[in-house]
Structure 1
Amino acid sequence: MTENLKFDEKGLIVSVVQDARTKEVLTVAYMNKESLEKTIETGETWFFSRSRQELWHKGETSGNTQKVVALRVDCDQDALVVEVLPKGPACHKGTVSCFSEVIKEKESSIGSLDILETLKNVIKDREEKMPEGAYTTYLFTEGVDKICKKVGEEATEVVIASKNRDAEELKWEAADLIYHLLVLLQEQKLDLYEVLGVLQKRHEKH
């Protein structure tokens, strides 16, 4: 498959690095044939530095390596998407992504799946720090019985809103159910991505 790749006149191919779980774009770098081969061989990202004119192994000095999950090529064979599991920030400035600065962002009521990752991390932080007055702290303090009860209550509310054909109410009740389910997963120390992995495996069977 790699023999069909179209490297540019300098022997490089653009490589978009993406978090395999959240699908967030982490960085854009370049590979040549050697760095691509080392990436495939080692299972971690290697790139070619245009400024230093040499290969570099992501995380070699910082420890913020990137485990490669998948390598995808576009229809023109001249660009790659590298799906990774990052160990630490991708950017040299210490941010998760090199694309953290916003030039312009249109306000919208349309949500994004990114919020699941954000909310998961907030819930985990609440359990670790237990800030006084936070509702999530209250749930963890009360324990698994209270959390399970809330999941059951919110699931019932989702059913009622659905039976009433009330889309607005269903939207809010579904959000409450997802939140409490994430709290329960954290209490059980079951990562959300393990659940998503089950869905992925089921999908692949069909």
Structure 2
Amino acid sequence: MSLLVNLFNNRKQEPDDAHKRIRIGDQTVYLNSRGRIPVIIQQAKSRKTEIVDLVYMNDDALKLTVQSGEIFLFKRSKGEIEKMISPDGKGYQVKSIQINRNRRSLLITVKAHRASNPSMNFIHEITVN
């Protein structure tokens, strides 16, 4: 079993399709088969950090986010790019964008908003035995 895990972990992770690869500045990220990348939005606070949401971006939303410094999303239901609005009615200001090891997902840290409560996005819990 451990040999199988090692083989899986050591296999080449980059897709062969050039259309799934995009360059943002000097970095490369890989989009999924639907042309999107999953993004965790994390709110930075002085004492602890909280997850705001898990969203998807296409290449245009990611480029717009990098250029503007605000979060833009690809809304699958509408097929459109929209600005992500915080509970206080303002946009989220990007503090940092981190790329995971295999370049297939992002972690975006945003400035904290006083009126927002990120934990309200996660209200159901699964009990683990």
Q: TM-score, normalised by structure 1?
A: 0.44
Larger radius of gyration: 1
Aligned counterpart, 1:8 = 32
* Post-superposition CA distance 1:54-89 (Å, at most 9, x none): 001011896142111000010010000000014343
* Post-superposition CA distance 1:129-157 (Å, at most 9, x none): xxxxxxxxxxxxxxxxxxxxxxxxxxxxx
Give the whole-Å Cα distance in 1 for the aligned partners of 2:107 and 2:69: 14
Aligned counterpart, 2:123 = 100
Give the whole-Å Cα distance in 2 for the aligned partners of 1:71 and 1:23: 15
- Aligned-residue CA RMSD (Å): 2.3
* Structure 2, unpaired ranges of 5+: 1-22
Aligned counterpart, 1:39 = 65
Residue type matched to 1:11 in 2?
A: G
Give the whole-Å Cα distance in 1 for the aligned partners of 2:40 and 2:68: 18
Q: TM-score, normalised by structure 2?
A: 0.68
Contact 1:30-1:47 at 8 Å conserved across structures: yes
How much identity, in percent, do the aligned residues show?
23
Q: CA deviation at 1:4?
A: 1.4
Equivalent residues in 2 for 1:186-201 (5 A)?
Answer: none
Q: Secondary structure at the match of 1:104?
A: coil
Q: Which has the higher helix share?
A: 1
**4+ residue stretches of structure 1 with deviation over 4 A?**
none
Give the whole-Å Cα distance in 2 for the aligned partners of 1:17 and 1:62: 16
Contact 2:51-2:118 at 8 Å conserved across structures: no
Aligned counterpart, 1:83 = 109
* Structure 1, unpaired ranges of 5+: 90-94, 107-206
